[in-house]
C-alpha cells in the first residue's frame, strides 16, 4: 500500500528505535486518514507519527521495544484515548516478539510490560481496556511457545486496530444524523484520525456530516496548553477541505451568544456509568456555555471508552501533567520563574450537560445508566 511508511523516507537508529522526518517549513502537510494510519506495525516494529512535531514537521518514530512505546504514550508523541489503546496493544505484541523467554519467565516479562504501559496515562480507559484484552489473549495461549504467542498477540493487536477504524466510521455516520443541514459545529481538542486508529470520533462525526452536507463550518478551539486543536484538528480539517476556523478557547461563549455556533461535538477519554464524561481540560466549560445558549452538546466515543464499573465522574482519575506545558511554549518560558502551576489534563462534564453520547452501536440519551449499559451489552 502506498502510504507514508515508504522505505526511502525511513531511518533506523540503533536497530530498535528511530525517527524519520519530512521537513515542511511553515506549511502543514496533507493527511489522508483513510490511507495513512496513526500507528502501525511494520517489519517487527511499531511505527507512529510523532504528534508533538505537527503541523510543521512530519516525523515518524520507529519503536523497537515496549519501553519506547510506553515513553511515546507518556510523552504524548501519540495521544487520544483510542490511539493510546491501539498503541499499547502493539507495544505488548512487541514485548513478546522481542523476548527470548519461555514459560514462567515469559509470563513475568509480559506482565511487567503490561504494568509499564498501564502506568503511562491514568485517565484514558481505552488503554486499560486494550491491555486487558491483550492479557486475555496471552493467557489463552499459555500452553503454546513464545513464537506462537507472539503471532497470536500481533493478530489481536491488528484486530483492535481494525475494529477501532470500523467503530469510528460507524459512529461518524450515526452522529452525522444528529446535525441539521449546514450546521456550524464547535469541537475541542483533537478527536480525529490522529487520536484513533483512523477517521476519528468527534471528527469522524464531522467528516461524515460534511460528506452529507450537514456541516458548513467547524470552529476549532485551540485547546490550551498543549494546543491539540490548533496543531492537530486544524491540520486534519484544513487538508481535507472541510471549512474550519481556529479560535482561542475563551472565544467560544462570544460566538455562541452571537448565534454563530449550532452544536458542539467532542470526544472522550472515559465515560462513567452515569454518563459523566472525562475529556480534555476545557470541555466542561464548553458544555456549560452550550447549555446556557441552548445548543446540543454531543460526545462521540467507542464502547471501549465506557467505564461502567465507574459509577460517576467523581471516581475518574485526572492526570496532572508537567508545569512546563503551561509555563513554556515552543521551549520558551512565558511565565515568571517560581510561579505555582496547576495542569490537570482532563476535566469531567456532568451528564446533565450531555445531549447524547454516540458510539459505534447507537446513540445513548439520558438516563445514561440504562442506555449506556444497553449499548455496551449489544
Do you know the residue count of the chain? 378
Give yes or no: 221 in active site.
no
Q: Which entry of 269, 276, 307, 347 is annotated as an active-site residue?
A: 269
Sheet holding 244-247, edge to edge: 244-247, 215-221, 183-187, 263-266, 297-300, 356-359, 362-364
CA dihedral 256, 228, 213, 290 (to 10 degrees): -20
CA 20, distance to chain mean position in Å, is 22
Q: Is 192 within 8 Å of 159 (Cβ atoms)?
A: no
CA separation for the pair 250, 201 (Å, rounded)? 24
Closest CA to 300 of 129, 186, 174, 181: 174
CA dihedral 259, 261, 262, 264 (to 10 degrees): -140
* Residue 70 neighbours by CB under 8 Å, 6+ apart: 91, 116, 117, 119, 120
Give catalytic residue positions. Answer: 269
Amino acid at each position: 500500500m502506498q502510504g507514508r511508511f515508504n522505505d526511502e523516507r525511513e531511518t533506523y537508529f540503533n536497530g530498535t528505535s528511530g525517527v524519520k522526518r519530512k521537513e515542511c517549513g511553515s506549511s502543514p502537510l496533507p493527511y489522508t486518514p483513510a490511507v495513512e494510519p496513526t500507528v502501525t506495525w511494520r517489519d517487527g516494529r511499531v511505527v507512529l507519527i510523532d504528534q508533538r512535531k505537527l503541523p510543521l514537521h512530519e516525523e515518524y518514530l520507529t519503536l523497537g521495544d515496549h519501553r519506547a512505546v510506553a515513553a511515546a504514550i507518556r510523552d504524548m508523541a501519540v495521544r487520544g484515548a483510542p490511539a493510546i489503546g491501539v498503541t499499547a496493544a502493539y507495544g505488548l505484541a512487541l514485548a513478546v516478539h522481542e523476548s527470548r523467554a519461555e514459560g514462567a519467565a515469559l509470563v513475568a516479562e509480559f506482565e511487567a510490560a503490561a504494568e509499564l504501559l498501564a502506568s503511562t496515562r491514568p485517565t484514558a480507559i481505552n488503554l486499560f481496556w486494550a491491555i486487558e484484552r491483550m492479557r486475555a489473549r496471552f493467557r489463552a495461549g499459555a500452553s503454546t511457545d513464545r513464537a506462537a504467542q507472539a503471532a497470536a498477540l500481533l493478530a489481536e493487536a491488528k484486530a483492535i486496530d481494525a475494529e477501532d477504524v470500523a467503530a469510528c466510521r460507524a459512529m461518524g455516520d450515526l452522529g452525522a444524523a444528529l446535525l441539521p443541514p449546514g450546521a456550524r459545529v464547535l469541537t475541542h481538542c483533537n478527536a480525529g484520525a490522529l487520536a484513533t486508529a483512523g477517521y476519528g470520533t468527534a471528527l469522524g462525526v464531522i467528516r461524515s456530516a460534511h460528506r452529507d452536507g450537514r456541516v458548513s463550518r467547524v470552529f476549532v478551539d485551540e485547546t490550551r496548553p498543549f494546543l491539540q486543536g490548533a496543531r492537530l484538528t486544524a491540520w486534519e480539517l484544513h487538508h481535507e477541505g472541510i471549512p474550519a476556523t481556529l479560535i482561542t478557547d475563551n472565544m467560544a461563549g462570544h460566538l455562541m451568544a452571537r448565534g454563530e455556533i449550532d452544536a458542539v461535538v467532542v470526544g472522550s477519554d472515559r465515560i462513567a456509568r452515569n454518563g459523566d464524561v472525562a475529556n480534555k481540560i476545557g470541555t466542561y466549560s464548553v458544555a456549560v456555555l452550550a447549555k446556557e445558549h441552548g445548543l446540543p452538546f454531543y460526545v462521540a466515543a467507542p464502547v471501549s471508552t465506557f467505564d461502567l464499573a465507574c459509577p460517576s465522574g467523581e471516581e475518574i482519575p485526572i492526570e496532572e501533567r508537567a508545569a512546563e506545558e503551561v509555563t513554556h511554549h515552543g521551549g520558551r518560558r512565558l511565565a515568571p520563574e517560581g510561579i505555582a502551576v496547576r495542569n490537570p489534563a482532563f476535566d469531567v462534564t456532568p451528564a446533565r450537560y450531555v445531549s447524547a453520547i454516540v458510539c459505534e452501536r447507537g446513540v445513548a440519551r439520558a438516563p445514561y445508566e440504562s442506555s449506556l449499559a444497553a449499548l455496551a451489552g449489544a
